[in-house]
């Protein structure tokens, strides 16, 4: 799950990025409104965490132009502006949720998970495909009831597939999900992680569609 964090307070930004990464999110962090617009139009993020008081372009304007451009990226507004009128403005401008600073990182993560569930149409936090389950809150993966240990990247890759069962994802789409700007991307690494997932979860779980990409088939 790749997030765009938009926050000009470097202490807040740094600590959020650290906490979210520790919990398995891929995080790109920008510190002004213009950079946020450029990032949101060039990468397909799973959600945006948006501060409102930003240099160069106000968060509300960023949100409005995003929606005007037809971008439906889930947006969670993080702000110190806790007046009811500001909250209403943010929601009317197209925000999906709202958190008033200071907030608890655990609550932020629970809200992100709820947003992602809504976006992908999962009603509960456990995603099931056949005998495989992924608990998106605890990040526990089970196959036939047995816990399977996955690395952070393997888990991010599995999540990308499970969010869109039946959809073929290209190597570059998969790369975009598991690497942020600051991460070094070696060659063939997505394929290496796919190989690892097949080893741990069964050779037939992830299908290769020759010349197109990879998928986990939708359940019959
Ligand atoms: Ca700010």
pLDDT in tens, 82-107: 678 888 888 888 999 999 988 999 99
Q: How far is the CA of 179 from the centre of ligand 1 (A)?
A: 26
Q: How far is the CA of 147 from the centre of ligand 1 (A)?
A: 41
Distance CA 132, CA 145 (A): 8
For the residues 184-189, what does the mean pLDDT come to? 74
Q: How far is the CA of 9 from the centre of ligand 1 (A)?
A: 6
Between 72 and 120, whose confidence is greater? 72
Percentage of the residues of the chain whose pLDDT score is greater than 90: 62
pLDDT, position 220: 61
Q: How far is the CA of 49 from the centre of ligand 1 (A)?
A: 12
Q: Write out pLDDT tens, residues 31-44.
A: 999 999 999 999 98
Q: What is the mean pLDDT of the chain?
A: 90
Q: How far is the CA of 116 from the centre of ligand 1 (A)?
A: 24
Q: How far is the CA of 53 from the centre of ligand 1 (A)?
A: 4
Tokens of 159: 């999540």
Residue 196 has pLDDT above 70, yes or no: yes
For the residues 116-134, what does the mean pLDDT come to? 84
Please tell me the pTM assigned to this model.
Answer: 0.83
Q: Give long-range contacts, CB 8 A cutoff, 24+ apart: 114-119.
A: 115/47, 115/74, 115/76, 116/1, 116/46, 116/47, 116/74, 116/163, 118/74, 119/46, 119/47, 119/74
pLDDT, position 118: 84
Residue 137 has pLDDT above 70, yes or no: yes
Q: How far is the CA of 6 from the centre of ligand 1 (A)?
A: 9
pLDDT, position 187: 67
Helix residue ranges, H only, 24-94: 33-42, 59-68, 84-92
């Amino acid at each position: 799950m790749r997030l765009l964090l938009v926050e000009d307070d470097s202490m807040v930004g740094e600590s959020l990025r650290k906490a979210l990464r520790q919990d398995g999110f891929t995080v790109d962090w920008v510190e002004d409104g213009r950079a946020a617009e450029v990032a949101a139009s060039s990468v397909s993020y799973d959600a945006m965490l948006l501060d409102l008081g930003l240099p160069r372009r106000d968060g509300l304007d960023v949100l409005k132009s995003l929606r005007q451009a037809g971008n439906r990226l889930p947006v969670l507004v993080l702000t110190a502006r806790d007046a009811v009128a500001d909250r209403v403005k943010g929601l009317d401008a197209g925000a999906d949720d709202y958190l008033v600073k200071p907030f608890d990182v655990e609550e932020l993560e629970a809200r992100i998970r709820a947003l992602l569930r809504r976006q992908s149409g999962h009603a509960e936090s456990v995603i099931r495909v056949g005998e495989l389950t992924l608990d998106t809150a605890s990040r526990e993966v089970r196959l036939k009831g047995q816990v399977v240990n996955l690395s952070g990247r393997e888990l991010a890759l599995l999540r990308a597939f499970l969010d869109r069962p039946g959809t073929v994802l290209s190597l570059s789409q998969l790369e975009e999900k598991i690497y942020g700007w600051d991460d070094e991307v070696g060659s063939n690494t997505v394929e290496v992680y796919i190989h690892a997932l097949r080893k741990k979860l069964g050779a037939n779980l992830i299908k290769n569609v020759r010349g197109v990409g990879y998928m986990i088939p939708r359940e019959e």
